[in-house]
Structure 1
Amino acid sequence: MSRKTQPEPRQAIALNYDGQSAPVLSAKGDDELAEAILAIAREYEVPIYENAELVRLLARLELGDAIPETLYRCIAEIIAFAWYLQGKTPAGFDPDAERDVTPPLPLLKGPAN
C-alpha cells in the first residue's frame, strides 16, 4: 500500500530594508497568503528570489524581527543582486573602489600539447 505524501505548503516572506539597519521581516505566510505576498511583489515589480530553505529559516522570525546576523551575508548578496537588476546602487557607492571579494578561480587549461 503506497502512501501519498502531501506537498509542503507554499511559503513566502517579505523583507524590508532601509539601507541602514538589518533587513526586517515585514510579511510571511503559507498557501493563499504566500500567493498574495508574491502577487503584491509582482504588482510593484519587487524582485522575487526563490529559496525554500531560506524561507523556512526566515519564517521562524516574528514580524518586525531583524534577520539574524548569521544570514547577513546571504541576504546582502540577494539584495545587492536585486538592486543590480533594477539599476540601483547604495548611497555613496563608488563603482571604481577596490572591493573585498574572493578572486575568481583560474581558468582550467587542457593538457599541454
Structure 2
Amino acid sequence: MSRDDTTPKPELAVALQYDGERAPRVTAKGTGELAEQIIALAREHEVPLQENAPMVELLSKLELGEEIPPALYLAVAEIIAFAYYISGKAPQ
C-alpha cells in the first residue's frame, strides 16, 4: 500500500507480541519516523494493524519487553481478537 501526501503520518506506534502463554508484551515503540518504520515493517510482514490513539498512548508508557498490565488485558484482548479475525485465524 502506498502513502499519498494526504494520508497523515503516524505520530506514535507500538507493537505487541503475544505468544498465547503469557501476557502480551511491548516489542517496539516509537514516534515520527520510527513510528512509520514500525508500521511499514508490520505491513511488509502482513501483521494486522489497528489505529487506537488512546491505547497507543497508554502502551507507549511501558518499557520495551514489558508485559501489559492487568488493567489493559480486556482492551488488548479485543485488539488481539480483531487481529485473529482479519487474519482468518483462530486462537489455539
> Normalised by the size of structure 1, how large is the TM-score?
0.71
Q: How does 1:1-113 map to 2 (within 5 A)?
A: 10-91=11-92
Gap regions ≥5 residues in structure 2: 1-9
1:108 matched residue in structure 2: none
Q: Output the CA distance in 2 between the equivalents of 1:48 and 1:84.
A: 12
The letter of the residue matching 1:14 is A
2:77 alignment partner AA:
A
Count of matched residue pairs: 83
Shift in Å at residue 35 of structure 1?
A: 0.2
Shift of 1:78: 0.9
Aligned counterpart, 2:6: none
CA distance in 2, matches of 1:55, 1:66: 14
Query: Shift in Å at residue 27 of structure 1?
Result: 0.2
How far is 1:20 from its partner? 1.1
Partner of 2:5: none
Structure 1 outlier segments of 4+, above 2 Å: none
Distance 2:49 2:83 in 1: 8
Q: Which has the higher helix share?
A: 2
Three-state SS of the structure 2 residue aligned to 1:45 is: coil
Q: Structure 1: which 5+ runs fail to align?
A: 1-8, 92-113
Q: Percent identity?
A: 59
Larger Rg: 1
The Cα offsets for residues 52-93 of structure 1, whole Å up to 9 and x where unpaired, read as 1111110000000000101101110110111011111111xx
